[in-house]
Amino acid sequence: MISEHLSEDLIQEFLDERAVLPADARAHLLECSECRETLGTYRELFASLDTVRFPELPANFTDRIMEQVETARPLSVRSQETVPQWLWIGATVVGAVAVSAVVMGPAALQNLLAQFTELWSSGVSSARTDISTYAADFNLKPMTAMLSAVTLGGIIIMDRLLVRVRRSRRFMSLMA
Amino acid sequence: MTDHRAIVEAILAGKREQFRLLVEEFQRLVSHIVFRMIPESQDREDICQEVFVKVYQNLGSFRFGSKLSTWVAQIAYNTCLTALSRKQLIIDDGFADRVEDSRPEWSASEMWRPDYRHESDDTATIVRREIDQLPPIPGTILVLFHLENMSLQQIAQVFTMPEGTIKSHLFRARKMLKERLTAKYQWEEV
């Protein structure tokens, strides 16, 4: 059995059911009326805390909030409505490839893909010297770049337009 | 159980009336924080309103990384800190060594006015009055733990403090409460 009194932290931990009283602490409790009294006081305090009720906000509080939010709008909605950036990048790549396939024909695209694969495998240094030759042979460099830029630009403009449409709809609904 | 995700998505989709459900659900939580943290009673209701407007305006940024109640409580606590700093009030965390009842920054508040037990007061009323006498942060932690049934981890998120610090505040608050109650009243009488 321990001779020292139980710490109030241990008693609180025990009542919070975060700690189990060790055997020597339990033995001490049986012998020590002071510790039993402290435990009893905390037990009553914990029980009374469950019954405490604080004054509530006025009954019309919710209505007042709803009046205020009539003129406010969730600020961060835009970030949820817009499509994630990775999706736009993916869509741009797919779009560029699709448009290129239509304009140049599938055979030319297949050829281009094969040459890119070859470039990749032959290494960056040889690619540097060869890329201009390949591009010149197929006359693809300006066309591919232009198509990619047009597709990317188109997607960005569409995104901005959609955001503006959504904003104006929200504004109209707030005004209505 | 309330489907908070569905409610939030509905509000963001423009069904503003759904926000009423959140106000009704969380107004007790918000008032528990604001009423403990703010000494001036005339400011409290305005701050509670400010909290809900902020919740509404920032709903789109809530990603359900925590419970919605924890997020709302965080906004309430931060709004209180802003309001206190506006008034240049210092928060007593209850850990500083000081003479009992020497709270000059808060003394104007009716919450700190010494009250005496009336014959008709029941245990809950007496305990409530003594909770109101606790320093703001330990008092708020005590109320969130016992009345809102929030875990120490959730409270730590609200206050952005380590869980151990929250636990120390809670234990200290309960000890202070016990000492105040036993000093003022014979506990058996209570």
- Mark whether A84 and A157 lie in a shared domain: yes
Choice among A22-36, A44-58, A81-95 with the minimum mean pLDDT: A81-95
- Is A65 within the bounds of a domain? no
A154-175 CB burial, b ≥16 within 10 A, e <16: ebeeeeeeeeeeeeeebeeeee
- Is A142 within the bounds of a domain? yes
B174 neighbourhood in chain A, CB within 8 Å = 12, 42, 45
- Give the number of beta-carbon pairs within 8 Å between A and B: 113
A9 neighbourhood in chain B, CB within 8 Å = 171
Check A66 against B12: CB less than 8 A apart: no
Domain region containing A158: 79-175
Q: Average pLDDT over chain B, rounded to whole?
A: 83
Using CA atoms in the order B147, B67, B62, B170, what is the torsion angle rounded to 10 degrees?
A: 50
Domains of chain B: 4-86 (1.10.1740.10), 104-184 (1.10.10.10)
Give the total number of structural domains in chain A.
2
- Is A55 within the bounds of a domain? no
State the CB neighbour count (10 A cutoff) for residue B18.
16
Entry pTM: 0.65
- Mark whether A107 and A163 lie in a shared domain: yes
Check A68 against B128: CB less than 8 A apart: no
- Is A1 within the bounds of a domain? no
A155 within 8 A of A88, measured Cβ to Cβ: yes
B147 neighbourhood in chain A, CB within 8 Å = 49, 52, 54
B94: left (phi over 0), alpha (psi -120 to 50) or beta: left
The angle at the Cα of B109, spanning B103 to B115, to the nearest 5 degrees, equals 85
Provide the ipTM. Answer: 0.79
Exposed/middle/buried for A9, CB within 10 Å: 0-12, 13-18, 19+?
middle
Q: A83 pLDDT exceeds 70?
A: no
Q: Write the pLDDT tens digit of every residue in B24-63.
A: 999 999 999 999 999 888 899 999 999 999 999 999 999 8
Q: Write the pLDDT tens digit of every residue in B67-119.
A: 999 999 999 999 999 999 887 666 655 544 433 443 333 333 333 333 444 54
State the Cα–Cα distance between residues B66 and A123, nearest whole angstrom: 48
